[in-house]
Structure 1
């Protein structure tokens, strides 16, 4: 039974790390490939605009993978809607798939684009924005309200500045600030590619929160004490 519990713990941690890595990798792959002439794609104003480029499969495929992983992630239930891990990850997964499949309205008519979802209806573009806003909002909720639940309290280990709960709250708060800045950047044109940069940073903090929750840095020794207030590496969280 103990071995079975350990396997479940490690499976959940691998799933968390996979979600985190995908979130960080998405903007890096899109922008990185845009800089390679072979792909014949310019750096886009936003991540969503990559739907209309040669890199669309990376955009839609990565988001769809994140969505499926979030849906398959069986988190803890909670009487509070804002702390219900399983419900929030399921909704976030659906939103991620929606963002991937329902395109943002293009600024210009795309050439030779095959799409199962019509892109020339403005209301679909607004639906894309709604899905994206809900997705990032849930990302922030998970980091602030859910990931901070249930940390072991080893009284002999002081709470470090780098305690995991501090990191989760910082990442969640950063996501909220960055997403609120996006419409501001669109309105005032703060700097070139401002929307792309803000979205990439929000995905970075999303990924960091999931990687820390998945114990990507390990959890033994000083790391276990500083991040998780633990003396050993096998706990159920």
Structure 2
């Protein structure tokens, strides 16, 4: 059982690392191939980093789809989030500000995916034993991550409502912020990044003395 739990936590951390490093991987990988910074993370679909973008989202989608939490709510939201992650991967964003059905589906999937991931941090991850001081600290961090994801989503809505002459890179950085805090939240849930539960270690000589009794 302990091996299963360890493997499950490792998968959580893997998802967290993908969220944390995906924006930087796409940006640096693009620069190495003389690709300038894109207007959004989704725009990297049309660059040499397109396979990395799709592959990362498929990994996240698979884990979320088979994610088993503490109750049915976790399972249902995980399944829905997994479907939306696949939607973001396989329905690319529209190019050159064109309004296309596939691009619209992409935006809807991306928005709902971020919202559900924020719900995980704000609601689901904060469940559990509140008497554990480390858990209390983790809950504060989960809420900070969730709030930052929500603020990123709101900022994107406001950005798209304001008329502008050029797209700029605001969307890229807003999406990157949401992904980074998503990564921090899931890495913390994996148990090793921030405020892990304290385990009591027994000194060797005490263990030996105990065994002799």
Once the two structures are superposed, residues 98-123 of structure 1 have per-residue CA deviations (whole angstroms, 9 ceiling, x without a partner) of: 10010111117xxxxxxxxxxx8712
The answer to whether the aligner puts 1:181 opposite 2:139 as a matched pair is no
Q: Secondary structure at the match of 1:153?
A: coil
Query: Partner of 2:173 in structure 1?
Result: 197
Q: Which has the higher contact order (CA 8 A, sep 6+)?
A: 2
TM-score normalised by the chain length of structure 2: 0.85
More helix by share: 2
Aligned length: 199
The answer to whether the aligner puts 1:211 opposite 2:187 as a matched pair is yes
Q: Is the 8 A contact 1:15 1:73 kept in 2?
A: no
Q: How much does 1:144 deviate?
A: 0.7
Q: How much does 1:150 deviate?
A: 0.9
Q: Secondary structure at the match of 1:216?
A: coil
Once the two structures are superposed, residues 74-126 of structure 1 have per-residue CA deviations (whole angstroms, 9 ceiling, x without a partner) of: 22224xxxxx1111111111100110010111117xxxxxxxxxxx8712211
Gaps of 5+ in 2: 202-213
* Superposition map of 1:16-35 within 5 A: 16-35=12-31
**1:158–1:179: structure 2 CA closer, same or farther, 3 Å change rule?**
closer
Query: Partner of 1:104 in structure 2?
Result: 93
CA distance in 1, matches of 2:95, 2:167: 21
Q: Secondary structure at the match of 2:69?
A: coil
> Which residue, 107, 111, 116 being the options, matches 1:129?
107
Q: More displaced, 95-104 or 8-17? A: 8-17
CA distance in 2, matches of 1:9, 1:145: 22
Q: Is the 8 A contact 2:39 2:167 kept in 1?
A: no
CA distance in 1, matches of 2:150, 2:183: 14
Once the two structures are superposed, residues 161-213 of structure 1 have per-residue CA deviations (whole angstroms, 9 ceiling, x without a partner) of: xx000011111111011111013234355994110000001000000000000
Q: Is the 8 A contact 2:129 2:135 kept in 1?
A: no
Tell me the C-alpha RMSD between the 2 structures: 2.4
> Which residue, 131, 141, 166 being the options, matches 2:119?
141
Greater C-alpha radius of gyration: 2
Q: Is the 8 A contact 1:16 1:213 kept in 2?
A: yes
Query: Partner of 1:10 in structure 2?
Result: 6
Q: How much does 1:231 deviate?
A: 5.0
**1:158–1:49: structure 2 CA closer, same or farther, 3 Å change rule?**
closer
**1:133–1:159: structure 2 CA closer, same or farther, 3 Å change rule?**
closer
Q: Is the 8 A contact 1:14 1:214 kept in 2?
A: yes
